[in-house]
Structures are given as structure tokens and as C-alpha cells.
Chain A
Amino acid sequence: MTAASLSAPLHTPGGSARKRTALRVLPGFNLTLGYTVLYLSLIVLIPLSALVFKTFTLTWEQFWAAISGPRVVASYQLTFGASLLAAMVNVVFGLLVAWVLVRYNFPGKKWVDALVDLPFALPTAVAGISLTALLAGNGWIGQYLEPLGIQVAFKPAGIVIALIFIGLPFVVRTVQPVLEDAEKELEEAATCLGATRWQTFTRVIFPSIAPALLTGFAMAFARAIGEYGSVIFIAGNMPMVSEITPLIIIGKLEQYDYAGATAVALVMLVISFALLLVVNALQSWQRKRSGAAS
């Protein structure tokens, strides 16, 4: 779309009205919006509201007891701690991988780039059993860690490893396009003005990719909190030690404690909704930043 075709009607009086009629030239608005809202309601909104209504059948005391038992609180601490740690590792290595893929050339770069998406494409259960096989005492990596007294599989450390695997593409894929669009002229200007390469990175490049990095962090963190498939195989699932919150929900369901499972699920739902809003806010901040720069 050219700038002229957009700006011409906007500058005439009553331009917004003309713009609206122009947009509505395209047919299908009512049909597609209606279908979108209907399908969204049937698949997502009504089932999710079932969760909220089911929680209302509990008294406040019952609800509080269900979500604040010692085993449940221990699972929150583990889930949050492991997710936070994994997301931080992902920020560091995700930035490094994105940087290397955008800025440098090396043989096989295309394949490495394609491989970044592996955690999106590989089923979580497969990742779970495979990481467990690697890190168990007789595994390819575990056999070298065992003599050093480091045990990863069936320990909280194993959970962090699984979550790093799951979260890596989120950071790489949010930072990569921003790094590609970054204007080299700014770096050249910084160099001409006498900045060292490190100063250029910290003062010029880093601020421009910081919003994307933060978005990637929030996305990896949000995904890690809800993750189930890859974690349960490697976690060991010991109550109070290595039991994640989604597993608490499964455990309550298996004991037919539907109300208790629902209460904990509601806590998780509220947290994930809050994180979704944070990610959205970060993304619009990022868009504003890059829009203002160009």
C-alpha cells in the first residue's frame, strides 16, 4: 500500500467515514466475524468458563485449602523457580544463537537455523524420554556426570533442562527478526564516534533488541509454567521435591477430587492469562519502539 493512497482520504474532512466505507467494500465481515466468535466460544470460552463455574461450587475455605496445601505450595515454588531459571538460560543462549545466525556465516548455517524449531515440532513426550535417557546414570551424558556426584535425571535440575529445551525457540525466533532489521548505520556511527565494539553492543544494539528479548523471555516462561509432557518423565515426581503443578492437577483428578483439581487449575489459568497480557503489552511496546526508530 502506498503512502499516497492512505493519506489522501485521511486529510479531507470526513476522511474517517470515507475510510470506513472503503474498508467495508470487502464482503464477508459478518460471516467471518460471526464464525470466529462462534467457534471461539464453543472450543475455548465456554469450556474455560466451566472451570470458573465449577470453582464457584466450592466455599472460600475449601478453595483456599485446595490451593494452599503444603504439597501444592511446594509445586508452585518448583514450577516457578524452574521456569524462571530455564527462561533466563534461554535468554542468554537464545540471544547468542540468534546473534550467530544473523551476524555470522558458517557452513551448515541453514540447517542449524532449521533445527532451532525442533522443540516446536518434536512431541513433548519424545523429548521427555529422550532427555531422561541421556541424563540417567547410564546415559550418554549422565555416565560422565554420575562420577562427579552430579545427578540430573529424576531431580529438579532435570526439570530445568527439559524446560530449557522447550523454551529455546521462543527467544531465538523473537530476537532474530529484530536483529535482522537492526540498522547497521547506527553501529557504524557509534564506531566512527569512537565507541569500542563492546560499547556499541551494550549502548546501541542491546537497547534495540531488549524489548524482543523480554518478550521471548515472557513467552518461554509462560510455556514452561504449563509444560507437562517433557517434564514428567525426567522429574522423578516426588511429592514436595520434584512434583510440578500440572502433575498436582492430574493427581487430584485421578483421585476423583474434581473440585480440588479445578481450584488449582484456576490458579494456573489466572497466571497464564496474566502472562499473556504481559506478552501482548511487551509486543506492542516493541512495535512502538521499532516504529519510532524507522
Chain B
Amino acid sequence: MSTATTARNVRNAKAGTTEAAWVRYTLIGVALTFMALFLVLPLAAVFAEALRKGFGAYFDALQEPDAWSAMRLTLLTAAIAVPLNLVFGVAAAWCIAKYEFRGKAFLTTLVDLPFSVSPVVAGLIYVLMFGAQGWFGPWLQAHDIKIIFAVPGIVLATVFVTFPFIARELIPLMQSQGNDEEQAAIVLGATGWQTFWYVTLPNIKWGLIYGVILCNARAMGEFGAVSVVSGHIRGQTNTLPLHVEILYNEYQSVAAFAVASLLAILALVTLFIKSVAEWLHTRELKAIAALSPERPSGDLA
């Protein structure tokens, strides 16, 4: 077959699987307009409102002591919640993806459960457990331990709402990779930990990174669940999102949007890291696919 015929055939086939140019441009136009209205505009509005009275007012708002303490609490909460869910996510993914056992589907559903529970309900259940009228309320009061309307309650509620993030990224990834490489490592005499560190972890690192940054973004930005258990004590139990709400309700619009802009920057950084990680991951997969079959893939590392 000549090159010209091949080219014509390819063109014909393409014409059968795409639309006329005007349809393409209309669809792209409508989709981009929708994205601009619903995603870009709200993002731009945050920064525009924050800078409405200039950079001076913006930085003044960020230097408030209450804003600083909210920032510290938000960082602390994420620093506890993310590692806890990271360890859980890896453990859950290991037992769900690597083994067959009875009740596995049910366990997987339960791991997903916190995603579908309303954040307000997530906060409420901890109030029922540890609040003054809750199960452990009297005992906690007798021992002078505060969980609800204090930092531990905020951490617990955050752990709940970010519970499935890392497990959910890892389970399908580890399932698709199968057990062959780990079995080979064990047969060759590696211990369980060595197998995990040197074989499994390099394979799942991208999924782990997506999971951790999405978990972190939600942990720092959670509002509903934290608002129920926080008690809104300024300078003590206010996270950044709660601080935004207080300022907004006090009609301190510039200050509210200034603090909100920090969270918007966090969101943008999250999206950026996620995109870069995805891009590196795709490149790595392509490099593996391009290797000749005779060459052992171990050379890559």
C-alpha cells in the first residue's frame, strides 16, 4: 500500500470518529465558558476581594494574632491527621489488595463510609461520644480532660472526614499491580519489611503522593465537621476556615477574604503538585513501556 493511500485511509477513519470543526469549537467554547464561570471566577473573586483595599490592608489582616493562631492550629491538625490516615491507608490497602478473605467487599465499603457521611453528622458523632452529655462525658469531666470544644475534638473530626483518602488511592493501584513482585522478593529471602520498603513502596509512591496531598488539602480546609466540635473560641479552637467564617460574619470582608486567599493558595499548590506528580508518573510508565522485553525492568531504579 502506498503512503498516499495510507494517509487517506487514516484521514477517512478520523473523519468517522470526530465531529465537524464547528461542532468541536462550539463544544470547546461551551465547556471552557462553563469552567470559567464556575471555577475560575470564584477563585479570582477570592483574591480580588482580599486586595480590595490594597496590599497594606491585606497584609495587616494576615498579621492578626488570631489569624496566626488559626494557622498554627490548622497546621497542627493536618500534621496529626495526615500521618494517622497514611499509616491506616497503607495497612488497609495491603490487606485488601494483597489477600482474599471473607467480608473483603464489606470492609472496602466501610472504609469508604466517611466520604458519604455529611460533615455535620461527622462532628455530631464525636459530640455524642465525648461531649458533656455523651458516653464518656462524665468520666472526661471527672478527669478534667477536654475533647469537645478543644483541640483533640478538632483533630478527631478531621481524621474522620479525611479517613478514606489515602486508602482509596492505594487499593485500586495495588490491586492492579498484583503480588508477583512481592512474592519474588519473599522467595529470594527478603523479610516482610524489606519487601515493603524496596518492592511495594517504589511501586505505589505516586498513588501515595496523590493520596497525601488530597488528604492534606481536605484536612486543612475542613469546615462542617470541625465547626460542630470546635466551639469557636477565638485564638484557641479556630482553624483557618472557621476564622474565615467569623470574620465574614463580622462583616470584615477584606480580612475574611485575605485569610481565605491563604486557603485558595493552598488549593492551587495542591493542584499543581498533583499535576506534576501525574505528569512524572505518566512519563515513568511510558519509559517502562518503551523498554525492550528482554531487559529486566529492575534497571530502571
- Which residues of A line the B interface, CB within 8 A? 1, 5, 20, 22-29, 31-33, 35-37, 39-40, 43-48, 50-51, 54, 93, 96-97, 99-101, 103-104, 106, 110, 112-127, 129-131, 133-134, 139-141, 164-165, 168, 184, 187-188, 190-192, 197, 200, 222-223, 225-229, 233, 246-247, 249-250, 253, 258, 261-262, 265, 268-269, 272-273, 275-277, 279-280
Give the number of A-B contacts (CB < 8 Å): 300
Partner among A36, A121, A140, A165 whose Cβ is within 8 Å of the Cβ of B107:
A36
Q: B-side binding surface: helix, strand, loop or mixed? A: helix
Are A134 and B30 in touch, CB under 8 angstroms?
no
In order of increasing CB-CB distance, the 3 nearest A-B pairs are A123-B221, A226-B118, A191-B16
28 A-B pairs within 8 Å (CB atoms) are namely A25-B183, A26-B192, A28-B196, A33-B95, A33-B101, A48-B117, A100-B27, A100-B28, A104-B28, A106-B32, A116-B35, A118-B39, A120-B214, A121-B267, A121-B270, A123-B223, A126-B260, A126-B267, A130-B42, A164-B38, A226-B118, A226-B121, A246-B224, A253-B228, A265-B118, A268-B118, A268-B121, A273-B113
Are A114 and B49 in touch, CB under 8 angstroms?
no
Partner among A99, A119, A121, A226 whose Cβ is within 8 Å of the Cβ of B116:
A226
Partner among A31, A130, A184 whose Cβ is within 8 Å of the Cβ of B46:
A130
A139 to B196, CA, bound (A): 54
Are A125 and B244 in touch, CB under 8 angstroms?
yes
Residues of chain B at interface, number, CB under 8 A? 105
Are B274 and A114 in touch, CB under 8 angstroms?
yes
Are A130 and B117 in touch, CB under 8 angstroms?
no
Q: How far is the CB of A284 from chain B (nearest CB, A)?
A: 9
The answer to whether residues A27 and B113 also contact, given A36-B92, A106-B28 and a CB cut-off of 8 A, is: no
A98 to B40, CA, bound (A): 17
Interface check B291, CB cutoff 8 A: no
Specify which chain B residues have a CB less than 8 angstroms from the CB of A31 in the assembled complex. 91
Partner among A26, A39, A103, A112 whose Cβ is within 8 Å of the Cβ of B35:
A112
Partner among A184, A200, A253 whose Cβ is within 8 Å of the Cβ of B124:
A253
A200 to B124, CA, bound (A): 50
Partner among B125, B227, B240 whose Cβ is within 8 Å of the Cβ of A47:
B125
Specify which chain B residues have a CB less than 8 angstroms from the CB of A222 in the assembled complex. 116
Specify which chain A residues have a CB less than 8 angstroms from the CB of B3 in the assembled complex. none
The answer to whether residues A272 and B116 also contact, given A120-B217, A192-B16 and a CB cut-off of 8 A, is: yes
Are A123 and B222 in touch, CB under 8 angstroms?
yes
Specify which chain A residues have a CB less than 8 angstroms from the CB of B17 in the assembled complex. 184, 187-188, 191
Are B186 and A29 in touch, CB under 8 angstroms?
no
Are A249 and B124 in touch, CB under 8 angstroms?
yes
Q: How far is the CB of B3 from chain A (nearest CB, A)?
A: 21
Are A110 and B275 in touch, CB under 8 angstroms?
yes
Q: Mark B257-269, 1 if CB is under 8 A from A, else 0.
A: 1001001101110
Are B118 and A228 in touch, CB under 8 angstroms?
yes
Are A104 and B224 in touch, CB under 8 angstroms?
no
Are B124 and A51 in touch, CB under 8 angstroms?
yes
Specify which chain B residues have a CB less than 8 angstroms from the CB of A25 in the assembled complex. 179, 183, 186-187
Are B217 and A228 in touch, CB under 8 angstroms?
no
A258 to B77, CA, bound (A): 26
Specify which chain A residues have a CB less than 8 angstroms from the CB of B13 in the assembled complex. 188
List B131-189 residues whose CB lies under 8 Å from chain A. 131, 133-135, 156, 159-160, 163, 178-180, 182-183, 186-187
List B75-123 residues whose CB lies under 8 Å from chain A. 87-88, 91-92, 94-96, 98-101, 107, 109-121
Q: Mark B191-209, 1 if CB is under 8 A from A, else 0.
A: 1100110000000000000
Are A165 and B127 in touch, CB under 8 angstroms?
no
The answer to whether residues A114 and B42 also contact, given A1-B178, A44-B114, A192-B16 and a CB cut-off of 8 A, is: no
Partner among B31, B42, B94 whose Cβ is within 8 Å of the Cβ of A134:
B42
Specify which chain A residues have a CB less than 8 angstroms from the CB of B59 in the assembled complex. none
Are A115 and B241 in touch, CB under 8 angstroms?
no
Specify which chain B residues have a CB less than 8 angstroms from the CB of A246 in the assembled complex. 118-121, 224
Chain B: CB-nearest residue to A35: B91
Interface check B129, CB cutoff 8 A: yes
Q: How far is the CB of A157 from chain B (nearest CB, A)?
A: 14
A270 to B13, CA, bound (A): 50
The answer to whether residues A50 and B134 also contact, given A32-B95, A253-B228 and a CB cut-off of 8 A, is: yes
Interface check B271, CB cutoff 8 A: yes
A29 to B100, CA, bound (A): 10
Chain B: CB-nearest residue to A90: B38
Are B38 and A43 in touch, CB under 8 angstroms?
no
Partner among A50, A197, A262 whose Cβ is within 8 Å of the Cβ of B135:
A50
